[in-house]
A = this chain, B = another copy of it.
């Protein structure tokens, strides 16, 4: 790859190690970066370093944040008695974008996966159980609708039930705007099982 410039080749190589960036996109990105104004490249590079160095886990919900505790856990407007359990900070962001959820979160940073050797001790479950010692009304399990997500949901639900705290699971079903004929059978069956009276 060294036909033109070892600097560009090095950059292409570094970029292609990022997830979802193949050799072609890495090349396109590299040439874009080389043609960007110098200050913009400096800024992008510094933003990357600074994010990497300053982002920490919230001491309460374990989402990624800048300070000791995330803005959601710090906010007095949020209902601390409702905890939504998600796999990743990205899932938290997805629910925050809806603007309709007023409780707090707990980020597991993964899901139980016997296949990948990820057990209950490898995700932030112990920390969730500790939070339940305080006054909590409901735990909403919003792990993914995958095998791992469902396994994790079942495991957490069994763990919490003895405490008497309400445990719920977000609904599975047909996505809004989804075309029935394009949806897999498992989802269709889930949608049928989860039907509600109208």
Contacts and interface: CB of A to CB of B under 8 A. Distances in A.
Given A4-B89, A5-B66, A5-B70, A33 B51 contact: yes
Contact of A14 (B5, B44, B72): B44
Interface of A: 1-8, 10-11, 14-15, 18-21, 25, 27-34, 36, 38, 41-55, 63-66, 70-72, 88-90, 92-93, 96
A88 to B, nearest CB: 7
Contacts of A7: 47, 50-51, 54-55, 66
A3 B96 contact: yes
A50 B10 CA distance: 10
A-side interface mostly: helix
23 contacts: A1-B93, A3-B72, A4-B71, A5-B63, A5-B64, A5-B65, A6-B66, A7-B47, A7-B66, A8-B55, A8-B64, A11-B48, A11-B51, A14-B44, A14-B48, A18-B33, A27-B90, A28-B90, A31-B88, A31-B90, A38-B52, A38-B53, A45-B46
How many copies the complex holds: the figure is: 2
Contacts of A41: 48-49, 52
A66 to B, nearest CB: 5
A33 B4 contact: no
A10 B51 contact: yes
A45 B11 CA distance: 10
A87 to B, nearest CB: 12
B18 A29 contact: yes
A28 B91 CA distance: 11
Contacts of A53: 38
Given A7-B66, A55-B8, A28 B19 contact: yes
